[in-house]
Amino acid sequence: IQSSFLIDAIARKHDLGATQEDVDKKLNEYVAQSGVDIARVKEFYSKPEQLSRLTYSITEEKVINLLMSTVKVKEVDASALKDKE
């Protein structure tokens, strides 16, 4: 639950919420991957709880992409790490 608050805050700050275009693109990806008819996919995602999960997933993906494009990872030797108890 805490991570969802963080995702939501970052998404709001950077205007990364799922758009209708994002949803349509994702539905078309599902059709291409599964071979299921687009009408059936749209019917499934017409339910509020399913659409909510989809839009959150899209938003989460956008936030992760933003973080991965801006983060700087520094490799350190394992011996330099301290166990914090």
Please give the Cα distance from 73 to 58 (Å, whole number).
24
Looking at residue 74, what is its pLDDT? Answer: 86
pTM of the model as a whole: 0.78
- pLDDT, one tens digit per residue, over 30-76 is 999 999 999 999 999 999 999 999 999 999 999 999 999 998 888 88
DSSP state of 17: P
Length of the chain, in residues: 85
DSSP state of 18: P
